[in-house]
Amino acid sequence: MTVTMTPFLRNILAADAAVSGAAAVLMIVGAPYLSPLLGLPSGLLFWAGVALVPFVALLLGVLRRQSAPRLILIDIIGINALWVAASFGLLFSGLVTPNVLGIAFVAAQALAVAVLAELQFVGMRRAANGAAA
């Protein structure tokens, strides 16, 4: 089953691509500078940024289409949900000891991703319901 890319869904996916792309560049290029500021390992920041690159490519690929397979949209929402879980899991794991700014950085980006995932879910449901009507 495919889902028609409504303006709402397209805008949310575009926002995700823009935010994820900016975060990727910030973390890849800025890892050595952010690390002491946030109390997070430079390698963690760098590789987290690198991990975002294929996700951004996926989002951009989906944005080029008039409709998208429902499973791809579910995958995008799932990837976002995993990012949120991994972010909070990292904070509670004790594997890193970020300072207050680092905790705020991780929590804020995780919450932003959670909001994007929820809006993507709403957009997908609206588009599917509109097609069924």
Share of the chain above pLDDT 90, in %: 94
Predicted model pTM: 0.93
Report residue 66 as tokens.
Answer: 């008039």
Contacts of 113 (CB under 8 A, 6+ apart): 80, 83, 84, 87
* Count of domains for the chain: 1
Beta bridge partners of residue 69, listed in sequence order: 2
Among the listed ranges 8-22, 29-43, 62-76, 118-132, which one has the minimum average pLDDT value?
118-132
For residue 14, the enclosing domain spans: 2-132
The 3-state DSSP composition of the chain as helix, strand, coil percent (nearest 5) reads: 85, 5, 10
Q: What is the 3-state secondary structure (H, E, C) of 21-40?
A: HHHHHHHHHHHHHHHHHHCC
- Check pLDDT > 70 for residue 132: no
